[in-house]
Structure 1
C-alpha cells in the first residue's frame, strides 16, 4: 500500500462551516478511516494546515485534534511548495483576494460559495484559475445529500414523466441574539460584510436546479429583512442591513417552473429543514436532507374540495418512502473525496469556479429583480 500525502491549507476553519463540515466531518473523518483508498494500492492521506487570523483559536483547534501544522500568515503558507491545495471557508468578503493569492501561487483550490461578492469577481477567479492551469472546485454539497441523491435517482429513472414544477421550502427561525443566542454569525445579517440569505442560498438553488432539472432561464424574486434589529456575539444590538428572507420564482429549461422560499424568519412545520416537492405527469416526490417520498400517478387519490366537512383523508400516509438502496456518507466528505481524486488522478470534475460563478450570477440577478420589481433573464455565462 502506497500512501500519498496531500497537504491542504484550510483557511476559515475557526468558523462554524469550515470547522464542522470541512475539517471534522470531511478531512479528519478521512484520516480516521485511514485515508482515501483509490482501489489500486494507493491511499491519499490528507494533511491539513490550519490557517486563520486568530492565533489562540488555531492553536486550540490543533491541540484538540492532535494536528501539528497551523499558521496565521497566509502568504507564508502559500509560499510553501509542499502545499497542494488551498481551501477557503472564510467570510465571503475575504474570499476573493485570498483565492487570487492562491491562484498566483499555483495552488489547486477548493472553496465555499459564493466564490465572490459579485459576478465580475467570480468570473475573474474562474478565468485566472484556467489561465494558471490549476485545478479548481466549488463546494456544492446539497447534490450529495441522501434525499437529493434519491431524487436524482427518480429523475434519471424517468419516474416523473414530464416534470412540471419544483417547490422548495428552506429555513428556520434564527434567534435575534438578545434573549436566546443566534444560531448563525452576525455578519450574515450585514450586507457590508457580504451577508444576506439571497447571496447565501441562491447559489445553492442554482446548482440544485441546474443539475437535477435544467438550466435557470429567468428569475423573479422578492427579498426582505423581516427582523431589522439583532444582537451580535458580544450582546451588542445592531441594525440588520441584509435580507433574511428571499422568495424566488425561476423558469427552467423545458418550461419547468421552480418556486423556492428561503427564510431565517420562519418556524418549521416540515419534516426537514429543506424540502423540495417535484410534480410530474407520471408522479410526484418530496425530498429533504435525508428522506424522499413518492406518489405515482396510478396511486394518486382523488380529493374533492368541500370546506363544509372535515378532511378525513390521511394525505401524508398516501406517499411511499424511497429506499436507501445503499449507504450515504457526509455530503461534504463525498465531494472532498471526488476533488482529491481529481487533483491526484485527474478524474472527471465539473463543479469548478465557472459553476460557482453561475450561483453568484443568480444571487445578483435575484437581488436586482427584487429592487426593480420585475422578472429578469439569466444569460448563459461563457468561460
Structure 2
C-alpha cells in the first residue's frame, strides 16, 4: 500500500458542527481507521490544518487531538501548495468570501450549506469553480442517514407506487438562553448575521425532496419568529431578528405535495427529531434519523371514525420495521469519503456547488413567499 497525505484546510472547526461531525467524526475517524483505501493500492491520509479567528481555541483543539497545524491567517494557508482542499463550516455570512478566495487559489472546495445567503452569490461560486477547474462539493448529510437510506431504498424499489404526499416534522425547543444555555449559537437568530431557520433548513429539504421524490417546482411558506427575545453566549439579552419557525408546502415534479414544518420553538412528541411520512398508492412509510416503518396497501387496516368510542387499535403496532441489511456509519464521514475519492480518484460526484445553489434558491424563494403571502414557482437551475 502507498500512503498519500492529503492536507485539508478546515475553517470553522471551533463551531459545534465543524468540530464534532467534520473534524472528530469524519477526518479524525478516517485517521483512526488507518486512512481511506482508494482500492488501487493507495491509502489517503487526511492531515487537517485548522483555520479560524480564535487562536486559543484552535490551539486547544489541536493539542487535544495531537494535531500540529493551525492558523488564523487564511491567506497564508491558501498560499501553501501542499494544502489541496479547503473546507468551510463557518457562519453562513462569512462563507462566500472564503470560498471565493479558496477557489481563486486553486483549491478543491468542500463546504457546509447553505453555500451563500442569496442565489446570485451561490451561482457565482459554482461558475468560479467550474472556470477554475477545481472540484467542489456541498454537505448534504441527511441523504446518508440510515432512516432516509431505507426510505430511498423503498422509493427506488417502487414500494410506494405513485407518491401522493410527503409530510415532514423537524425541530425541538432551543432554550432562550436566560435560565438554561441555548443549544444553538446566537447568530442563528440574527438575520443580519445570516441566521434563520429558512436559510438553515430549506436547503436540506430541497435535496431530500429532489433526490428521493422529485424536483421542487413551487413553494408556499410562512416564516415567523415565535421567540423574539433571547440571551447570547455572554448572558446578554438581544432581539431575535431571524425566523425560528417555518411552515412550508412544496409541489414536486410528478404531482406529489410535500408539507414540512421546521421549528426551534417546538417540544418533541415524535420518536425522532425529524420524521417524514410518505404516502403512495401502494404503500406508506415513516422514516426518522435511523428507523423506517412501512405499511403496504395489502396490509392497511380499515379504521372507522367514531369519536364516542375509545380507540381500540394500536395504530403504531400496525407498521412493519424496515431492516437495515447492513451497517450504517456516520453520514458526514460517508460523504467525506465520497468527496475525497472524487478528488483523488475522479469517481462520480454530483453533490456540487450547483446542487448547493438549488438549496439557496429554495430558501430565498421561501422567504419571498412568506413576505408576499403567495405561492411561488421554483425555476429549474441547469449547468
TM over 0.5: yes
Aligned pairs, number:
383
Matched, 1:256 2:256: yes
**Matches of 2:43 and 2:124 in 1, distance apart?**
34
Name the structure 1 match of 2:299.
299
Matched, 1:170 2:152: no
Task: Deviation per CA, 1:325-371: give whole Å up to 9, x if none.
Answer: 00000000000000000000110000000000000000000000000
TM-score (norm 2): 1.00
**Matches of 2:171 and 2:15 in 1, distance apart?**
20
User: Where does 1:1-383 land on structure 2 (aligned, <5 Å)?
Assistant: 1-383=1-383
**Matches of 1:290 and 1:38 in 2, distance apart?**
28
**Matches of 1:324 and 1:298 in 2, distance apart?**
23
Following superposition, the deviation at residue 382 of structure 1 comes to 2.8
Q: Is the 2:246–2:261 contact (alpha carbons within 8 Å) kept by the matching residues of 1?
A: yes
Q: Runs (4+) of structure 1 moved beyond 4 Å? A: none
Following superposition, the deviation at residue 79 of structure 1 comes to 0.2
TM-score (norm 1): 1.00
**Structure 1 regions of 5+ residues with no counterpart?**
none
Q: Secondary structure at the match of 1:221?
A: strand
Q: Secondary structure at the match of 2:254?
A: helix
Task: Deviation per CA, 1:269-321: give whole Å up to 9, x if none.
Answer: 00000000000001000000000000001110000000011111000000000
Task: Deviation per CA, 1:193-240: give whole Å up to 9, x if none.
Answer: 000000000000000000000000000000000000000000000000
Following superposition, the deviation at residue 39 of structure 1 comes to 2.1
Following superposition, the deviation at residue 50 of structure 1 comes to 0.2
**Matches of 1:152 and 1:116 in 2, distance apart?**
28
Task: Deviation per CA, 1:64-108: give whole Å up to 9, x if none.
Answer: 000001010000000000001000000000000000000000000
Q: Is the 2:38–2:345 contact (alpha carbons within 8 Å) kept by the matching residues of 1?
A: no
Following superposition, the deviation at residue 381 of structure 1 comes to 1.4
Q: Secondary structure at the match of 1:115?
A: coil
**Matches of 1:295 and 1:220 in 2, distance apart?**
29
**Matches of 1:17 and 1:8 in 2, distance apart?**
17
Following superposition, the deviation at residue 117 of structure 1 comes to 1.1
**Matches of 1:298 and 1:285 in 2, distance apart?**
14
**Matches of 1:359 and 1:39 in 2, distance apart?**
33
**Matches of 2:302 and 2:30 in 1, distance apart?**
49
**Matches of 1:345 and 1:178 in 2, distance apart?**
50
Q: Is the 2:217–2:251 contact (alpha carbons within 8 Å) kept by the matching residues of 1?
A: yes
**Matches of 1:311 and 1:380 in 2, distance apart?**
46
**Matches of 1:361 and 1:39 in 2, distance apart?**
37
Following superposition, the deviation at residue 186 of structure 1 comes to 0.2
**Matches of 2:276 and 2:373 in 1, distance apart?**
26
**Matches of 1:254 and 1:308 in 2, distance apart?**
40
**Matches of 1:40 and 1:89 in 2, distance apart?**
31
Following superposition, the deviation at residue 249 of structure 1 comes to 0.1
**Matches of 1:3 and 1:152 in 2, distance apart?**
35
**Structure 2 regions of 5+ residues with no counterpart?**
none
